[in-house]
Chains A and B, each alone.
Chain A
Amino acid sequence: MMLEINRLSVNYGHIQALHDVALTAEQGSIVSIIGANGAGKSTLLRTISGLNSPKNGGSIRFLGKEIVSLAPHKIVRAGIVHVPEGRKVFAGLSVLDNLKIGGFLYKGAELQKTLDHVLTMFPILAERKDQFAGTLSGGEQQMLAIGRGLMAQPKLLLLDEPSLGLAPIVINTVFKMINEIRDSGVSILLVEQNARKALTICDKAYVLENGYIRKEGTGQALLNDPDVITAFLGESV
């Protein structure tokens, strides 16, 4: 198992944002997490990548190794890369510098190789490479955020709402990229508001509600689940 999470609980002061969350992700798969605003989706990703610390007793095993107490920069080294909600590009740095910072752990020929790969994958970034990242459009910034994540050569990529605020046509491009990334061998943990797309693309999905995992199953099964349909797919049964 690539990622195995057990009994993960996270507090913000007195507010408990995650309750005993358990989740697994297999190598080469896309696992989606859907849930309403405030369900705890970002908290889950932030805890996996080390930005938030869980309560004692929780476990996050990555490729068989416990990573729960590691600092974020060490978790990147282990192979988990988090593309945060809201893109978070370094607005005052050039597109190229943003990408190079994504590849902070590498240098020389290896850095250049990944850079060439990412620039081929996202030609728009190659075109804009000397521009400040803050001047890119929302869609371009999302491409940059994903490209920057790939620069760290992840084994597992955590994507937090990559389609947020994008036009439908751009959303399609983003999901095409996600598929392409998985086909290149990178496993993906995808948090999405766009439940239909997230369930269609994934191998397995979880429904998170008020910090609890309420449902889990294949994307297909959840797409046909009456509760999921009413809550997330906007259709009456």
Chain B
Amino acid sequence: MAITAFVQTLFNGLAIGGSYSLIAVGFCLVYSIMKFTNFAHGSMISAAAFVSYWVCNRFNLGLLGSLFAAIAAGALIGSITEFLAFRRIEKKSASNFYFFVSSLTWGTFVEQLVNNGVGIRALAFPKFYPSLSLKITVFGTKYTIMTNYLYMFVSAVIVLGLLFVFLYKTKYGRAIRATSFDRDTANLMGINVAMTIQIVFILAGIMAGVGGVFLGVKNKIYAQLGSDVVTKGFISSVLGGLGSVYGAVIGAFVLGVVEQFLVYFVGSNMARVVIFVLMLVFLLIRPQGISGVMVKDKA
């Protein structure tokens, strides 16, 4: 493998990993606080991307405007998801099976709405970038990188950076971490648990929205856009260690990079198979993930 190919593949992997990380971290935050998987996570990605597409076309927005539209849509969808699929059931403290059914039903419903909105052919965002690829010279070597990947990577890093500042430096971030650890005790500290859970779903929705726009630019927009990539988000967070936000980020970047190298060496069809085999092997060897936190599911 030539050095140019190596660097380009590595960069593609990091960019793709960036979009996975946005999905994985949102998924992981929700999992940590609910101790349950939000099966509607994928639909939040498709829906936010679709709304963003619609707003972008309607008002002739560029990338930045579309991103803000996706953020607003993601936040709204996240908060509705929490309210409809989780809060009522949470109040009745029913069996986790109800979370499974309600989040799956809600997710399928949203996906169906997007399906009806999109129509028979996948939609494409307008051309956001003057050119699809960029040539960059570093230390005298020329690299070609996809413009969308560059923006995807930079945005993911910015969003993750802001998220970490929020989680570790603000009182609401501390409230999220405390509530994820021990809900009753957090409640005894004066933390409004319902509101904290709502904030987590909004954050997850925002990240799903940002990820959704870039994936939409990359793969077009269709109803299953979210559920196609959400598996990668799940995998990333398990790879990193379920329940650890750092782990989810690391897992996502590792997954992105490994995937791109597989594509390089065995082609994209084989890569899709091999990545899942690697994943299963990894889980057998190290179920607690990279970061080593082993979370016991409520279910």
Contact = CB atoms under 8 A, between A and B. Distances in A.
- DSSP class of A's interface residues: helix, strand, loop or mixed? loop
B188 A90 contact: no
A73 B193 contact: yes
Nearest to B188: A82
Contact of B185 (A50, A90, A97, A105): A90
B224 to A, nearest CB: 36
Contact of B189 (A50, A51, A92, A101): A101
B202 to A, nearest CB: 19
Instruction: Point out which of A72, A76, A107 has the most chain B C-beta atoms below 10 A from its C-beta.
Output: A72
Interface stretch (B17-25, B53-61, B176-184): B176-184
B188 A49 contact: yes
Interface string A83-123: 01000101111000100111011010000000000000000
Interface in B167-212: 171, 174-175, 177-178, 181-182, 184-193
B178 A101 contact: yes
Contacts of B187: 50-51, 71-73
Given A90-B181, A93-B181, A97-B177, A72 B171 contact: no
Contacts of B193: 73
Contacts of A49: 188
Given A100-B171, A101-B174, A101-B175, A76 B189 contact: yes
A142 B97 CA distance: 37
Contacts of A148: 189
Contacts of B174: 93, 97, 100-101, 104
Interface centre among B171, B190, B193 (most CB of A within 10 A): B190
Nearest to A89: B185
Interface residues of B, number: 17
Contacts of B186: 90, 101
B190 A73 contact: yes
Instruction: Say what secondary structure dominates the interface of chain B.
Output: helix
Contacts of A82: 188
A77 interface: yes
A113 B111 CA distance: 51
Contact of B177 (A50, A73, A90): A90
Contacts of B181: 90-93
Contacts of B191: 73, 101, 104
A197 B193 CA distance: 36
Among B188, B190, B192: residue with most chain A CB under 10 A: B188
A152 interface: yes
Contacts of A100: 171, 174
Nearest to B193: A73
A174 B239 CA distance: 43
A90 B175 contact: no
Q: Which 6 A-B pairs have the closest CB atoms?
A: A76-B190, A72-B187, A88-B185, A105-B190, A104-B190, A90-B181
26 contacts: A49-B188, A51-B184, A51-B188, A71-B192, A72-B187, A72-B188, A73-B187, A73-B190, A73-B191, A73-B192, A84-B188, A88-B184, A90-B185, A91-B181, A93-B174, A97-B174, A97-B177, A100-B174, A101-B178, A102-B189, A104-B175, A104-B190, A105-B190, A107-B171, A152-B189, A152-B190
